[in-house]
Amino acid sequence: MKGKEISSVENINSHIEEIENHAKIAVSVDCVIFGYDMEELKVLTIECNMDPYKGHPSLIGDLLDEGEDLDQAANRILKERTGIDNLYLEQIKTFGKVDRHPLGRVITVTYFALVKKADYNSNGMRPSPNSQWIALSQIEEMAFDHLTITNVALDTLRKKLLEYPIWMKLLPIDFSLPELQNLFENIIGKPLDKRNFRKKILSLDIIQESGKKQKDVPHRPANLYRVNQKKLKKEYSFLLKNPFHN
Partner DNA sequence: TCAAAAGTGTTCCAGTTACACCCATGA
Partner DNA sequence: TCATGGGTGTAACTGGAACACTTTTGA
Binding mask 16-45 for a second copy (x = CB under 8 A): xx-xx-xxxxxxx-x---------------
Q: Is 60 one of the binding residues for a second copy (CB under 8 A)? A: yes
What Cα–Cα distance (Å) separates residue 151 from each residue in 178, 183, 192? 26, 17, 22
Give all strands of the β-sheet with 175-176 in edge-to-edge order: 175-176, 223-227, 207-213
Collect all residues with Cβ–Cβ distance below 8 Å to 214 and sequence separation of at least 6: 176, 221, 222, 224
CB of 141 to DNA, least distance (A): 32
| Residue 199 burial (C-beta neighbours within 10 Å; 0-12, 13-18, 19+) | exposed
CB of 203 to a second copy, least distance (A): 23
Name which of 196 and 246 has its Cβ closer to a second copy: 246
How many angstroms separate the CA atoms of 72 and 153, rounded?
A: 19
**Residues 168-197 close enough to bind DNA by CB under 7 A:** 176-178, 193-196
Name which of 172 and 178 has its Cβ closer to DNA: 178
Q: What is the DSSP letter of 65?
A: P
**Residues 201-240 close enough to bind DNA by CB under 7 A:** 213, 215-223
CB of 85 to a second copy, least distance (A): 13
Binding site for DNA (CB under 7 A): 176-178, 193-196, 198-200, 213, 215-223
